[in-house]
Amino acid sequence: MTSTSGPGPIGSDASTPVRRMTPRSRDEAHRAATPLELFFDLCFVVAVAQAGVQLVHALAEGHPGAGVIGYGYVFFGVWWAWMNFTWFASAYDVDDVPYRIATLVQIAGVLVYAAGVPRAFNDNDWTIAVIGYLIMRVALTTQWLRAAAAEEGPARRTAFKYTASLVVCQLAWVGLLFVPEGAKRWLFIVVAAAELLIPLVAERSQQTPWHPHHIVERYGLFTIIVLGETMFASTIAVQSALNENKALGELLPIAGGGLLIIFSAWWIYFAVPAHERLVSNRQAIPWGYGHVLIFGSAAAIGAGIEVSIEHVMGKAHISAFAANAAVTVPVALFLFTVWLLHERYFERTLPQQLTLPVATLAVLACTYAGDWAVLATGLVTAATVAVGVMLAARPTAARGAAA
């Protein structure tokens, strides 16, 4: 089948199965995510879910340090692979047959990576995960080579830099499998740092033509999908508790609070037009990299709600305070990171600037609310939304009165 949506470069023939991979325009009108990109995101959430499941087990068994560290390692792999595809697609998506096949191969790779998450998390065995990454990287490398063949001058050098850097880093991941067990986690950090440097090095001569609206939409869609996974995980946990005849009265505060948290997280994230800030890599790279905390904390909220339910059921071998912290800490991290990355750039008054930081502290204080901690956290986040709406309405009303 060939594309009928016309997402390729302006003037391209949608019936052509193979096209020249020319760059997209940063000023292209009506640029939107494609069905293939949505499918890509949905498949990536499988790996996010696997990471969340392992985090639940670790927290419920009273191993928060090991759980958070392991979650950070495996989630980095998911997030970085998603980043690699997303920014490349924003610049060079031609939606022809080779492009689609390469993208589907990357999806296959992330599913292999997801299958390796439990071993990587629990046993520090990264063999399957690295194989999954190798599959993804082979496909992405061919995409950059196609881009290099279509470019010239500085843009071609940028594409070749990406190609060479990806190959070198992937060889480093393979080499990581053969180092002593005690050194793997430390060397992981070194290789991960090298990965993060790739865009900074490759785009020094010329920035790739990513599209601000498209990038913000892609990040927003992935945030929605992760929040949806959080909702799904929480629902399954509540269902399991009900199946074991747990009193509904003990579950309602957690379920209701979790629902308010997820609804509020969606509202807060989409409160400002983030694309207006993304002028160049100077703003886009910190914004894009910082989202690892937004995505990671959003997924961890679902894990925390599951831990709270397991604590109520008597299955979690932790204190009530630890169970509460499993929810309040990722919620607080989500709120603060959203404020740090883009909310604060659009808030004009001091009360608007302080809303999310104060809410972050209030959420952390909910850790001490005992059995009502999740509900209290949900009420705080809902109140934060209400305050934000009222503060945003005041300047509008003032301008209307002045007119």
Per-residue pLDDT tens for 246-279?
667 778 899 899 999 999 999 999 998 888 888 8
User: Is the residue at 330 inside a domain?
Assistant: yes
81 contacts 48 by C-beta, under 8 angstroms: no
Do residue 53 and residue 121 come from a single domain? yes
What's the chain's average pLDDT? 89
Q: Looking at residue 79, what DSSP letter applies?
A: H
Distance of alpha carbon 297 from alpha carbon 358, whole angstroms: 18
Tell me which amino acid residue 16 is. T
Tens digits of residue pLDDT in 40-98: 999 999 999 999 999 999 999 999 999 999 999 999 999 999 999 999 999 999 999 99
Q: Are residues 290 and 380 in the same domain?
A: yes
Query: Which of 149, 178, 202 is the endpoint of a domain?
Result: 202
Residue 6, domain member (yes or no): no
3-state helix, strand, coil in the chain (%, to 5): 80, 0, 20
- Check residue 327 and give its pLDDT: 97
What integer pLDDT is reported at residue 376 of this predicted model?
A: 97
What beta strand segments (E) does 90-180 contain? none
What is d(CA 133, CA 112) in angstroms, rounded to the nearest whole number? 8
- Which pair of tokens denotes residue 262? 């997820």
190-210 residue pLDDT tens:
999 999 999 999 998 889 999
3-state secondary structure of 24: coil
What DSSP state is assigned to residue 371? G
User: Which residues lie closer than 8 Å to 8 by C-beta, 6 or more apart?
Assistant: 14, 19, 93, 94, 95, 96
> Do the Cβ atoms of 341 and 291 come closer than 8 Å?
yes
Q: Which residue, 149, 167, 202, sits at the end of a domain? A: 202
Q: Is 238 in the same domain as 196?
A: no
SS3 label, residue 182: helix
Residue 92 lies in a domain: yes
Q: Are residues 318 and 391 in the same domain?
A: yes
Q: In whole angstroms, what is the distance from residue 180 CA to residue 27 CA?
A: 50
Instruction: Judge if 295 and 325 occupy the same domain.
Output: yes
On whether residue 2 sits in a domain, the answer given is: no
Size of the chain, expressed as the number of residues it contains: 403
Q: What is the pTM of this model?
A: 0.90
Instruction: Say yes or no to pLDDT of 9 above 50.
Output: no
Best CA proximity match to 303, nearest among 327, 269, 271, 320: 327
Alpha helix positions (H), 93-153: 97-123, 127-150
pLDDT, residue 18, reads 85
Q: What is the pLDDT of residues 270-306, one digit of tens each?
A: 998 888 888 888 889 999 999 999 999 999 999 999 9
Residue from 78, 101, 95, 96 nearest 33 by CA? 95
| 380 is a domain residue | yes
What percent of the chain is modeled with pLDDT above 90?
70
Identify whether residues 43 and 152 lie together within a single domain: yes
Residues 244 and 307 in one domain: yes
Q: pLDDT band for position 33 (50/70/90)? A: very high
Structural contact between residues 44 and 85, judged by C-beta atoms closer than 8 angstroms: no
Residue 373 has pLDDT above 70, yes or no: yes
Q: Which of 171, 202, 233 is the last residue of a domain?
A: 202
Looking up tokens 């509202």, which residue turns up? Answer: 267
| Structural domain total, the chain | 2
Dihedral sign from CA coordinates of 59, 61, 63, 66? negative
Instruction: Give the range of the structural domain holding residue 71, as residue numbers without chain letter.
Output: 35-202
In the numeric block, which tokens belong to residue 374?
């999740």
**Tokens 């909910």 -> residue:** 366
Q: 190 with 6: CB under 8 angstroms? A: no
Co-location of 227 and 363 in the same domain: yes
